[in-house]
Structure 1
Amino acid sequence: MYRSIEDFENDWKNEEQRTLQIFRNITDETKSIKIHEHVRTLDRLAWHITQIIPEMGMHAGLMTENLLDGKPIPESFEEIINVYQEYNTILLKRVKSKWTDSTLGDQVDMYGQVWTKGQVLSVFVTHQTHHRAQMTIVMRMVGLPVPGVYGPAKEEWVNMGIPAMD
């Protein structure tokens, strides 16, 4: 749970860059491959990560409307990236203008549960991380390189001349 807006802002900016690393490795040829009936496609996962920003933002009182609700997955991955970046910027501006460090302990109704505002900010980060992890598995399955977002990935170990871990 966050206790300072600045800490969230720093984390969110870093997480945005990690998400973009993954998004930018996805190709038009692989974005819609369905590897299993119970696994979302890469474009669906990326669009979900993007759509949840205004949805959660609206529930938390940070946004007044969800303009992405019900919108279909954009045709190009570049459009998903642009919308994702746009809503990241909107979220940070709203958090900084509507909430303060002293209000992060205030409670909000989120999906029938009571969360603190600091908890809402934590869930923004962990939710995105959760779906990025799903995306990296799908990326491996469809033959895409996986960027190391928290440390070197297999391909990066090899490029450094170090045997990849099993």
Structure 2
Amino acid sequence: MFSKINDFVQEFEMESVITERVLDSLTDESLTQAVSDNQRTFGQIAWHLVSSINFLTYLGLSYDEPLADENVPVSAAKILTEYRRLGKSMLRAIRSQWTDESLGQIVNLFGEDWQNGAALRYSLRHEIHHRGQMTVLMRQAGLRVPNVLGPTREDWIEKGMQPYV
């Protein structure tokens, strides 16, 4: 749980750089790849990650820009642009509408009590979860996986080193 606004902002800003790297590696063609039968496509997972930034509005935050559209874009660049836009709007809302004290407030959401600071932690973990899913799908789609938390296989090869198997 977060108890300080600035702690969340710093963590989100650090994680969003990594998420942007992943989203920037997508292609328009890769968005239509299905995970498996009757499952989301790669584009739907990416868009779910982006549109989930809207989640915090259920806790009373009001964004100064429109929320994500429900329709999945057919452009990978549009997904990245919307991620950046919504992330900035979310941070402005948190900084201007909540205080460190309000992170301890409890809101009933979907029949459950959620503490604002815990909801911030959940939203960040949710993003990281889907980002991880996307890196696996990127391999399946033949895309290069960007450095997420360390060098990738391709990075090691480019450095003339033998990657771990």
State if a TM-score over 0.5 links the two structures.
yes
Equivalence for 1:157 = 156
Confirm whether residue 90 of structure 1 aligns to residue 89 of structure 2. Answer: yes
* Gap regions ≥5 residues in structure 1: none
Q: 1:34 to 1:20 in 2, by over 3 A?
A: same
**Matched residue of 1:108: which SS?**
strand
Which aligned pairs between 1:1-166 and structure 2 lie closer than 5 A?
Answer: 1-54=1-54, 56-63=55-62, 67-68=67-68, 71-166=70-165
1:30 is paired with a residue whose SS is helix
Contact 1:42/1:135 (<8 A) preserved: yes
The CA distance in 2 between the partners of 1:29 and 1:68, in whole Å, is 21
Q: 1:94-131 deviations in whole A, cap 9, x for unaligned?
A: 11111111221111123322121110110111000000
Matched AA of 2:20: L
TM-score, normalised with respect to structure 2: 0.91
Aligned-partner Cα distance in 1 for 2:38–2:11: 31
Q: Contact between 1:105 and 1:118, CA under 8 Å: does it hold in 2?
A: yes
Count of residue pairs the alignment pairs up? 164
Structure 2: gaps of 5 or more residues: none
Amino acid at match of 2:143: L
Question: How many angstroms apart in 2 are the aligned matches of 1:162 and 1:143?
Answer: 21
Query: Could you tell me whether the CA contact under 8 Å between 1:58 and 1:66 is conserved in 2?
Result: no
State the alpha-carbon separation in 2 of the partners of residues 22 and 111 from structure 1: 31
Give me the whole-angstrom Cα distance separating, in 2, the residues matched to 1:8 and 1:67.
21
Write the distance in 2 (CA, Å) between the matches of 1:60 and 1:116.
9
Task: State the one-letter code of the partner of 2:84.
Answer: Q
The alpha-carbon deviation at position 38 of structure 1 amounts to 4.7
- CA apart distance, 1:40: 2.3
Distance in 2 between residues matched to 1:130 and 1:66, nearest whole Å? 25
* Percent identity between the two aligned chains: 34
Give the partner amino acid of 1:90.
S
Quote the offset at 1:17 in angstroms.
0.9
Map Cα deviations across residues 7-54 of structure 1 (whole Å, 9 max, x no partner). 110111111111110011111222211141154222111110111111
CA contact (8 A) 1:5 1:101 kept: yes
